[in-house]
Chain A
Amino acid sequence: MIRTKITEMFGVKHPIICGAMMWLAEPNLCAAISNAGGLGNLTAQMYESEKLFREALDQVRQKTDKPFLVNVTSLPSGRITSEHYAMYFRVCAQEKVPGMEISGMPVEKITGEEGLAMLKEAGVRLFQKCGAVRHALHAQKMGYAGVYAAGFEEGGHPLSDDVCTMVLTPRMVESLSIPVVSAGGISNGRNLAAALVLGAEGVMMATRFVATQECRVHKNIKQELVRRQEHHTTLITKSLGLQGRALKNATVAQILEVEARGGGLQELMPLITGLRGRQAWETGDVEAAAMYFGQSTGLIHDIPTCAELLERMVEEAAQRIDLVRGLTH
Chain B
Amino acid sequence: MFETRITKMLGIKYPIQCGTMMYLSNAEFVAANANAGILACLASAMYPDAQALRDEIAKLRDLTDQPFGVNVSLFPGHSAVVVDQVLDILAEQQVRLVETAGRSPEPHRARIRQAGFIHLHKCARLRDALKAQALGVDIVAVVGAECGGHPSMDEVTTMVLAPQVAAALDIPVIAGGGFCDGRSLVAGLALGAEAVLMGTRFLNTVECPAHQAIKGKLIQAQSEQTLIVQKSIGSAVRVLDNDWARQVLALEEKKVPLRDLMPYITGQRTKNSWLNGGDDALIACGQVVGRTKETLSVRQLVAQIMDEARTVLTGLTQG
A-contacting 9-mer, from B55-63, B99-107, B154-162, B209-217: B154-162
Scan residues 266-301 of chain B and give those whose CB is less than 8 A from a CB of chain A: 287-288, 290-291
With A171-B290, A186-B159, A230-B160 as known contacts, state yes or no: A324 contacts B190, CB within 8 Å.
yes
With A3-B317, A190-B190, A329-B1 as known contacts, state yes or no: A166 contacts B179, CB within 8 Å.
yes
Q: CB-defined interface of B108-143 with A at 8 Å, one 1/0 digit per residue? A: 000000000000000001100000000000000000
Complex: A165 Cα to B316 Cα, angstroms: 19
B-contacting 9-mer, from A53-61, A63-71, A295-303, A304-312: A295-303
Is B223's CB under 8 angstroms from A171's CB? yes
Complex: A59 Cα to B91 Cα, angstroms: 71
Can you report 11 residue pairs joining A to B where beta carbons are below 8 Å apart?
A1-B318, A152-B145, A164-B159, A190-B166, A198-B183, A299-B160, A321-B313, A321-B318, A327-B15, A328-B3, A328-B310
* B144 interfacial by beta-carbon distance below 8 Å: yes
Q: How many residues of A contact B (CB 8 A)?
A: 50
Is B2's CB under 8 angstroms from A194's CB? no
Is B312's CB under 8 angstroms from A197's CB? yes
Is A168's CB under 8 angstroms from B223's CB? yes
Q: Contact residues of A with B, CB < 8 Å?
A: 1-3, 132-133, 151-153, 161-168, 170-171, 174, 184-188, 190-191, 193-199, 229-231, 295-296, 298-299, 317-318, 320-321, 323-325, 327-329
Complex: A299 Cα to B159 Cα, angstroms: 10
Complex: A164 Cα to B158 Cα, angstroms: 8
Is B183's CB under 8 angstroms from A199's CB? yes
What chain B residues lie within 8 Å of A153 (beta carbons)? 145, 156-157, 159-160
Scan residues 214-272 of chain B and give those whose CB is less than 8 A from a CB of chain A: 223-224
Cβ-closest 6 pairs across A and B: A166-B178, A185-B159, A231-B154, A1-B319, A161-B224, A193-B190
* B28 interfacial by beta-carbon distance below 8 Å: no
With A132-B224, A190-B163 as known contacts, state yes or no: A295 contacts B157, CB within 8 Å.
yes
Residue of B nearest to A235 (CB): B155
Closest CB in chain A relative to B176 CB, distance in Å = 10
What chain B residues lie within 8 Å of A163 (beta carbons)? 146, 223-224, 287, 290
What chain A residues lie within 8 Å of B64 (beta carbons)? none
* B32 interfacial by beta-carbon distance below 8 Å: no
Complex: A186 Cα to B152 Cα, angstroms: 20
What chain A residues lie within 8 Å of B191 (beta carbons)? 190-191, 193-194, 320
Complex: A320 Cα to B156 Cα, angstroms: 22
Complex: A318 Cα to B187 Cα, angstroms: 13
Closest CB in chain B relative to A286 CB, distance in Å = 20
Q: A320-B190, A328-B310, A328-B313 are in contact. List 15 more A-B contacts (CB 8 A).
A: A152-B155, A163-B224, A165-B159, A167-B290, A186-B159, A191-B159, A191-B163, A194-B191, A195-B187, A196-B316, A197-B190, A230-B156, A231-B152, A320-B192, A327-B15
